[in-house]
Structure 1
Amino acid sequence: MNATFAEISAALSDKQRILVVSHLRPDGDALGCTIAFALWLKSLGKEVVTWNEDGMLDKFRYLPGHEMVTTPPEEPQAFDAVVALDNSVKKRLGTVIPAIKDGALWINIDHHVSNDRYGDLNYIDPSAPATGQILCEFFRDRQIAITPDQAANLYAAISTDTGSFQYAGTGPRTFQAAMELVAAGVNVAQISRDMYENQPRRRLELLRHALNGAEFSCEGRVACFSLTLADVDRLGVLPEDNEGIIDHLRSVEGVIAAVFFEELPEAKVRVSARSKDPSVDVCKICALFKGGGHPLAAGARVRGGLEEVKERFLEAVCHEIRNRN
């Protein structure tokens, strides 16, 4: 059962030192929510710390308050409460976990259907297309005025996680939240340029690599591309450059599912899967590989060699497509 917004607010009211965190390899929803919530807590006079295993990514430094996000220290610290946002399972916090001493109240606010409710207080809404939307509804419910800086962060969170308001789950609640954020001071044209028209050239080289190396299987209904460690060195790309590349493959006519395989050190492969057919649930497929996410967008980290993992995962995707209702 979900905690209410009132219960979450009340639980934080008597806490002074609060940590706000989100998942490793953060996206706009993770960082935008982290900063927006931290800004609210600071306005209440709280001592607020914000950590992410990867710190603040360069591509999101346009977010007001971005300097608040740092990497966790080696020595564990004590907190009265930890607020985890947009994070489905605790282990996805990465190096943040060992940096937190025992004894804190954990609050878990998220929109992933695969969330395992690891908090002392949980608010999980898989119908929301972004955790940013949930925070807008939290602030509205608690009658908390959203500042322009908070609004910019929440708008970025929602826009990036909904694919500019076009992914499944985007609905009246989403547009109501966006309307309220614009009314609170978001400069839509400026933040849109920051989000979508300021890409480093190396990302273009990665896109070129992906399109040139695209493979199609399952009668053309599955598209994929791979990125080896050697490719990463040759192209000079960063992990943050990968976001959104897979959507170019998913957009091809006839393709139902697209998959990106990224070779990692220590014999692991990061898998990102996208579907454009609700009957092909990539979260269900990723769960077979100890991953999770959403029905149309999910991922997993799988132990094994790149070609071996690729073969096994594509076989599972094709099986799902051929046996869908």
Structure 2
Amino acid sequence: MNTTVEPPQVSLTNSTFAEIAAVLRAHESFVVLSHVRPDGDALGSQIAMGLALQQLGKKVKVWNEEGLLEKFSFLPGGELVTLPPNEPEDFDVVVALDTATRQRLGDNVLAAVGEAKVWINIDHHPSNPRYGDLVHIDSIAPATGQILFEFLQSQDLPLDEAIAENLFAAISTDTGSFQYPNTTDRTFEIAADILRCGIKVGELSQRLYESYPRRRIELLRVLLDHMRFDADGKVASFSLPLAMANELGVIPEDNEGLIDHLRAIQGVIIAIFFEELEDGKVRVSMRSKDERADVCEICKSFKGGGHKLAAGARMTGSLDDAVRRVIAAAVEAVNPL
């Protein structure tokens, strides 16, 4: 019998860092979660929180639907990240990080979480519906890792070199190496503080951005051969059919960041990456270079979400149908620009 307890649906105001820290200090058992198809912000934030809780003497588990991705396996403390178990487990506190909706935690993860006294939701996605008991959503922050740094620092919680390295990976990857428009002066100040913790930024950046497997480059070559342009070059896209992915031997994490090659093309406003999945769905990733072309709003119309300049959705149906519908919406968004 599944005894999973639903978290409260909505918390209308942000919990303070002090309120969240008090819960962390007062309880003993924790599970730290983040979204399916995790990126650097998701895993870096999870590991950082897990390490901090361990140093507080807490019992901690860190679960992700995909486990620890190969390309982030070098992060200190990465061994904390595991697949969820088959049977539900109870915890004092569930901490959900960088996850815009509860469903994005994944079916297996949600089934593995049994009873919990408190749900904490820390995120930077403006589309987050504010699920949980204690909720802190900062849509101005470019990464959840930035929120966690300020939380740990302001509450005098553990923040050593290993934690700092994970937070730097989180912030760096979610800001496009500090290039995206949501990068602020505070982001650079935090990066400087993290460097003072002793991390080797050159070595870390090389592992993050200059250690791709050859199969990823082979995938990029094929995708670039099949680029599509619409709306006089304002919309660029490519598609990855399941058969092509199998033929190339790529794994899901190889796709991350490939959309930026489309986004970087002069004249392109919206870039789209379509990926056919095994469950009969299509994963859609969208990027925009103009806030007037709000890809979050486009993705919401397909039951997705995210940010104005970066969003995604999972659509049921064929790859061809998803391409047709999403590109039509993107063309409508950029035509007035």
TM-score under structure 1 length normalisation: 0.98
Q: 1:48 aligns with which of 60, 80, 102?
A: 60
- Structure 1, residues 206-254: CA drift from partner, whole Å, max 9, x if none? 1101110100001111000000010011111010000110100111111
Q: Equivalent residue for 2:194?
A: 181
Question: Offset of 1:145 from its aligned partner?
Answer: 4.9
Q: Distance in 2 between matches of 1:269 and 1:104?
A: 36
Q: Equivalent residue for 1:89?
A: 101
Q: Equivalent residue for 2:146?
A: 133
Q: Specify the SS of the correspondent of 2:116.
A: coil
Establish whether residue 154 from structure 1 lines up as the match of residue 167 from structure 2: yes
Q: Specify the SS of the correspondent of 1:38.
A: helix
Q: Equivalent residue for 2:321?
A: 308
Q: Distance in 2 between matches of 1:49 and 1:57?
A: 17
Structural RMSD (CA)? 0.9
Establish whether residue 193 from structure 1 lines up as the match of residue 209 from structure 2: no
Letter of the 1:7 counterpart: E
Question: Offset of 1:11 from its aligned partner?
Answer: 1.5
Q: Distance in 2 between matches of 1:104 and 1:249?
A: 45
Q: 2:37 aligns with which of 20, 25, 30?
A: 25
Q: Specify the SS of the correspondent of 2:22.
A: helix
- Structure 1, residues 25-52: CA drift from partner, whole Å, max 9, x if none? 1111000000111111111110000000
Q: Specify the SS of the correspondent of 2:115.
A: coil
Q: Specify the SS of the correspondent of 1:81.
A: strand
Answer whether contact 1:78 1:104 (CA < 8 A) is retained.
no
Q: Equivalent residue for 2:268?
A: 255
Question: Offset of 1:143 from its aligned partner?
Answer: 2.7
- Percent identity between matched residues is 55
Establish whether residue 277 from structure 1 lines up as the match of residue 290 from structure 2: yes
Answer whether contact 1:113 1:294 (CA < 8 A) is retained.
yes
Q: Equivalent residue for 2:9?
A: none
Q: Distance in 2 between matches of 1:36 and 1:265?
A: 32
Question: Offset of 1:185 from its aligned partner?
Answer: 1.1
Q: Specify the SS of the correspondent of 2:284.
A: strand
Establish whether residue 209 from structure 1 lines up as the match of residue 222 from structure 2: yes
Question: Offset of 1:140 from its aligned partner?
Answer: 2.0
Letter of the 1:71 counterpart: L
Q: Distance in 1 between matches of 2:156 and 2:115?
A: 32
- Structure 1, residues 154-175: CA drift from partner, whole Å, max 9, x if none? 0000000100000121011101
TM-score under structure 2 length normalisation: 0.95
Question: Offset of 1:103 from its aligned partner?
Answer: 3.2
Letter of the 2:264 counterpart: S
Q: Distance in 2 between matches of 1:47 and 1:103?
A: 14
The answer for unaligned runs of 5 or more in structure 1 is none
Question: Offset of 1:62 from its aligned partner?
Answer: 1.0
Q: Equivalent residue for 1:222?
A: 235
Q: Distance in 1 between matches of 2:125 and 2:209?
A: 24
Q: Specify the SS of the correspondent of 2:89.
A: coil
Letter of the 2:317 counterpart: G
Establish whether residue 63 from structure 1 lines up as the match of residue 75 from structure 2: yes
Q: Distance in 1 between matches of 2:195 and 2:279?
A: 45
Q: Distance in 2 between matches of 1:320 and 1:131?
A: 28
- Structure 1, residues 136-158: CA drift from partner, whole Å, max 9, x if none? 11012113352000010000000
Q: Distance in 1 between matches of 2:158 and 2:131?
A: 29
- Structure 1, residues 264-296: CA drift from partner, whole Å, max 9, x if none? 123211000000111100000000000001100
Letter of the 1:301 counterpart: R
Letter of the 1:70 counterpart: T
Letter of the 2:15 counterpart: A
Question: Offset of 1:5 from its aligned partner?
Answer: 0.1
- Structure 1, residues 50-107: CA drift from partner, whole Å, max 9, x if none? 0000000110011000001000001000000000110110001111101011233100
The answer for unaligned runs of 5 or more in structure 2 is 1-12
